[in-house]
Structure 1
C-alpha cells in the first residue's frame, strides 16, 4: 500500500548552492512546489523563489504551520532539531522529507502515512533520481498501514486508541482477528497472521487484537481485546417528507432509524429522494447536518422500482411508489431493503445497502 498522495502545496527549502539547484529542478518536475532559497543563491535559481536570510529556524517554524508538505535540503539530524519542537500530533503535523547534499536519498521523516510523507518521498526521489527512504514497519514488511486501511474508499475509523496494539500484533505476525460484513475487501489475500473470524460475536469475544469492517452497531458490552472498527460508507437512507419540514427533524429521524435497526451512522453514505423533492430546504439542510450528500432520483427510475417497494401515500398523492424506499434502492443499486419504510409524522425513511460493496 503506497498511501495517500502527497499534499499540496509543498514548501521546498534549500540553504546551499547545490540544494538550491536541486530545489529548482524539483519545482520544474513536481506540481505544487514553492521554493525557498537562502538569499545568497536566489539569483541562481531559474524560476520563481522566495529568498530568506539565515538562521533557518524561523522560516521552518513559519512554513511548518502553513504547508501540508515540506522538503528540506538539510541533513536528517538538522531537520530533527528544527521540527522536533514544532510537533503537535500525527493528525496535524505536515509531511516532512529531507534530502542530502548530493541528492542521493529522499528520507521520509514525518507523517509518512496519513500526511502522505511516504508518497512525497517517492515522488521527490523519482523527480531527482534519488532513492526514497521509507522506514515504517508496514512499508518495510509489505503490510497494510492500518491507519490508512480503506481510506481511499471513504472508510471511517473508530477505536483509533487501539491502533498501537493491533498494528503491533500485525507487524509481529499475529494472530490478528478479521471480520467483515460490509464494503469491499481491503486486500486480495489476507496478510500473514490474519485470522478470518466467522461472525462478529466471535471476533469481539476472541480476545485477539481484531480488525472489524462493518456497518452494524456493536453490541453494548465490553470488548475482549483491542478492536479497530472500520465503517465503510455502504448505507443509503431514502427520505420522503412533507413540505416545510425542518432539516433537524429529518436528520434526527434518520439517525433514530439507523440506531433502532442496529446500523452505524458513520456508515451513512448519502440521503436519497425523488428529483422533485431534492430542492426541499429541509432535505438539503438534513444532508448538511449529517455530513453527507443528497442524491436526486428521477421519477422514471422510481417508477421502475414499483414492484420492489411497499404501497404508500405517495402513490395517491404523487402517482409514484414509496419515495423513501425506491430512492434508497435506486441509489444503492440494490434489490432489497435493509430497513423498510419507517414513518414519523412528516418524514419517512428507508435504508438500503450499496449492493456493489455488500
Structure 2
C-alpha cells in the first residue's frame, strides 16, 4: 500500500488522480492547515504507516517539513516528492525502491522522473504494477495479503480493511482544553497501536457532548458522533478503575470507561482509563455482527442479454470471489450500467441508475491455485474463508460465484448469512415465456 499525502490544497487534485489510477494499492491523506490535520502530523503518520509515500507538494515545502524536527523518516521508507504542477517526481529517500516507484508515478501521470543516483532494480519495482505482476505469476512472497484489523497494520498489507470497531469514552472537567483532550487521545491510541480511522464514535456522560474539548476531539477524529449517557446508567456499569471522587462530583464512579462500554454493547475494554490533569479517556472494542450474502452470478447464454445484478451488491462493503467470478461480475456490471443509463433517459426512478457497486466497495480476488490471499497471520484463504474473515469483523460482504451459487457454504460465525439465487437471463424477444 502506498501513502499519498496532499500536503496542501493545490496538491489534492493530483493525489486524487494518482489514487484513481491505483485504487487498490494507494490511500490518500489530506493535510489542512488550521485544524488537527497539520501537514507535519499527516506526513509523519504516513511515513510511519506505509513503506512508500508520495508527498504531493513543492520540493522546498517537503524539505522544510523533514528538517523542522516534527517529522521523522523511518529507515528504508521510500519517499517521493511529486510536483503539484505535474512537472516532475523526485525520489528523496528509499534508494532503489524509490527510484523504481518514481518511474511508475511518472508513467501513470505523464510527469518527468528526476533520478537521484539509484538505478531501479530490474523486474522488481515496488508499485501497483509490480503487485499486479506478482499476483499474475503466483509468487507467494510477493502476493497481496488481506488484513482485517483495527490495530496499526504491522505488515503494511496490500489489501487492508480497517473496520470501525472502537469507541472512545471521554470525560472532561470544566476547565479542560481542546488541545489537552486531543493530545491525550492521540497518545492513548498511538501507544495502544490503534489507528484513529478505526474509531467509530465518542461516548461521555450526559451534558458533556457540547464541551469544547469533547467537540474538538470528535472533529479531529473525522467528525464522529458523540453518545451521551445518563450518570445513573453509567453508575451501574462494572469498570476496573472506579473513582469515588468522580462519583461524588458527577453521580457515577466512572465516565470514560463506563461510557465506552455502554456505547459498545457486548464489547470489551481494550484500553483502561488514562488521564491528564482535566481529561480522561478509555477505549472499548464493540462486538460487531457482519453479513455475508451468497450470490450466484449465473451465466448469460450466447445471444441473450446478461442477467441483472441483485440489489444486495450495492450494500456490500466488499465483494469476494475468484478472479473468474469477479471478471464475470465486471461484465454484468457493465451491462447493468448500460441498463441504468437507458432507464435514466426514460425518466425511471433514480434508484435504477444507482449502479451495482458503491464507489467504496472493495473487490477482493482470491486465486485459490496461486494462494495469493492470506489473513493477517499468514494462513491461506479461499474465497469463502476471506468472506467469513471480513464478515467476522463486522463487514457486509457479497460472496460471488459463477453459476447458481448453490455450492457456497460458510462456517457459522458472528454474522448473518443470506442466499440470493442466480438472476434469470432475459429471453429473446419473441421467445416463449
**Shorter chain as normaliser: what TM range?**
0.3 to 0.5
- Between 1 and 2, higher relative CO (CA 8 Å, sep ≥ 6) is seen in 2
Larger gyration radius, structure 1 or structure 2:
1
Give the alignment's TM-score, normalised by structure 1: 0.43
